[in-house]
């Protein structure tokens, strides 16, 4: 477990809410004449400082995990490149074998066997042949950009609405 993760484990985000509730309960039940405003000011100041500290710690942790995610993304990119290169090499070897293996030849080795098998596939007789409608599969999906533009301009679309959202901005 990293230092940042240990800090997160020690940081209980619910504590602030509990402190605020405790302070609120004191204010609601206390006799206002007996309340020492100096103590209240200190309590408020302590809670505000703790809140700011926890926000700063959360930001550190956020950036820590963001860095890890970026590092993982870089490794994924490297692995994708390696995979593509490996697949190309695999394909070249397969092409060489297809070219050099006779039509009826087959071999068995300790690590595997190689030969031909019969298969069928459906292919167009000419390039550009359209698929007959009876054999077509169509995937329907909403055009959300067009829908958003229409909804903004006042067009009603049954079952759909434009929703405004606030997203947290962290840099």
Task: Please check the confidence at residue 9 and state whether its pLDDT lies above 70.
Answer: no
- Please give the sequence-ordered ranges of beta strands (E in DSSP) within 33-129, or none if there are none: 107-109, 112-114
Angle at 14 (CA atoms; ends 9, 18), nearest 5 degrees: 140
For the stretch 120-144, pLDDT in tens is 888 888 887 788 888 888 888 889 9
Task: Please check the confidence at residue 71 and state whether its pLDDT lies above 70.
Answer: yes
Claim: this prediction has a pTM higher than 0.75? no
């Amino acid at each position: 477990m990293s230092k940042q993760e240990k800090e997160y484990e020690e940081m209980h985000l619910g504590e602030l809410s509990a402190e605020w509730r405790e302070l609120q309960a004191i204010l609601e039940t206390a006799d206002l004449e007996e309340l020492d405003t100096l103590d209240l000011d200190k309590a408020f100041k302590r809670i505000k400082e703790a809140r700011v500290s926890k926000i700063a710690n959360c930001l550190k942790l956020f950036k820590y995990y963001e860095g890890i995610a970026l590092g993982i993304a870089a490794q994924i990119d490297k692995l994708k490149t390696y995979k593509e290169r490996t697949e190309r090499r695999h394909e070249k070897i397969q092409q060489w074998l297809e070219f050099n293996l006779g039509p009826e030849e087959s071999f068995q080795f300790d690590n595997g066997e190689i030969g031909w098998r019969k298969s069928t596939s459906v292919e167009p007789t000419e390039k550009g042949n359209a698929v007959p409608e009876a054999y077509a599969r169509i995937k329907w999906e909403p055009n959300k950009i067009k829908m958003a533009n229409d909804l903004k301009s006042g067009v009603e679309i049954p079952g759909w609405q434009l929703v405004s959202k606030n997203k947290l901005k962290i840099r």
